[in-house]
């Protein structure tokens, strides 16, 4: 089998397991709703939501052709493994997943798959088996140690959140990602107005701090932030400086007049 076909085959296998897990949770969830067991139904709703979040982590692999591991398949599968691990480690989910009979849905496209799993009895076991198969796929026999360790790192590091600094793994190193922000022409006027207001507010704060007896380190940090707002500095530097100012403001809050704070 061609390598690309092998990747697509494995993705179909993963999707089939996830669909079966969803049906496994939907059946008792629907029963709880009919019996008006609201508390139990709420817990099943949370599990279904988390399972859907896990399923969406590999959604890009269904939207475009795969070009093997280099296409980023391993990165998406690592995210899936991370989400599934969070489910089985949830102390509320664990007992329920162990007690639920796994409902395997038939999928003709998976019948031809080279990937096989033993007969599974419980939903918890299905998730454990799936995490194991993902790890085997990403690090088959003969895989270099550094690639296996990279996958393990991707599988445990939380997904990137919206933040001033974005990170990525490149050449086996964790680095700050360079992100270029481009504004739409129709937004330029609003951006300039907002920037002007920020600068005026910064000037007022600096003026008040200079009149107070606050710690000089706080004043220097605020002035550095103001200088970056006046210059064409990238958002990452501004965001990191802003975080530093926030920490220092919290530390010296007792020294500041209420209006300035």
Tens digit of each residue's pLDDT (9 = 90 or more) over 21-57: 999 999 999 988 888 888 888 899 999 999 998 888 8
Position 137 pLDDT exceeds 60: yes
Average pLDDT, the chain: 78
**Nearest residue to 10 (alpha-carbon basis) of 61, 48, 55:** 61
- What's residue 112's pLDDT? 47
User: Higher confidence at residue 87 or residue 260?
Assistant: 87
DSSP states along 211-226: HTT--HHHHHHHHHHH
Adjacent-strand bridge partners of 174:
169
- Give the helix/strand (H/E) hosting 46: helix 38-56
Model pTM score: 0.54
Structure tokens at 244: 């530093």
Please classify residue 134 by burial: count the beta carbons closer than 10 Å to its beta carbon, then call 0-12 exposed, 13-18 middle and 19+ buried.
buried
Position 176 pLDDT exceeds 80: no
Residue 181: pLDDT band by 50, 70, 90 thresholds?
low
Q: Are 260 and 209 in contact (CB under 8 A)?
A: yes
Handedness of CA 81, 83, 89, 94 (dihedral sign): negative
Q: Are 76 and 151 in contact (CB under 8 A)?
A: no
Structure tokens at 239: 């965001």
- Give the helix/strand (H/E) hosting 169: strand 166-170
Structure tokens at 115: 């990937």
Dihedral over alpha carbons 211, 216, 218, 222 (to 10 degrees): 70
Handedness of CA 125, 130, 133, 134 (dihedral sign): negative
């Amino acid at each position: 089998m061609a390598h690309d076909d092998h990747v697509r085959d494995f993705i179909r296998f993963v999707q089939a397991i996830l669909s079966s897990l969803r049906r496994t949770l939907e059946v008792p969830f629907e029963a709880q709703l009919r019996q008006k067991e609201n508390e139990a139904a709420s817990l099943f709703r949370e599990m279904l939501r988390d399972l859907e979040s896990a399923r969406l982590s590999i959604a890009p692999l269904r939207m475009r052709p795969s070009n093997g591991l280099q296409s980023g398949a391993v990165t998406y599968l690592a995210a899936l493994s991370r989400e599934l691990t969070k489910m089985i480690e949830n102390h509320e989910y664990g007992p329920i997943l162990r007690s639920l009979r796994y409902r395997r849905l038939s999928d003709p496209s998976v019948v031809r798959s080279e990937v096989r799993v033993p007969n599974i009895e419980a939903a918890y076991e299905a998730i454990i088996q799936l995490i194991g198969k993902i790890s085997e796929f990403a690090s088959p026999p003969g895989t270099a140690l550094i690639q296996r360790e990279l996958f393990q790192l991707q599988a445990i590091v939380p997904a990137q959140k919206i933040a001033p600094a974005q990170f990525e793994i490149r050449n086996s190193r964790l680095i700050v990602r360079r992100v270029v922000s481009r504004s739409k022409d129709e937004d330029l006027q609003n951006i300039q107005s907002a920037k002007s207001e920020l600068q005026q507010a910064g000037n007022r704060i600096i003026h008040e701090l200079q009149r107070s007896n606050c710690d000089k380190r706080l004043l220097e940090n605020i002035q550095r932030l103001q200088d970056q707002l006046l210059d064409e500095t990238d958002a990452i530097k501004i965001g990191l400086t802003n975080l530093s100012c926030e920490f220092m403001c919290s530390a010296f809050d007792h020294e500041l007049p209420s209006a300035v704070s």
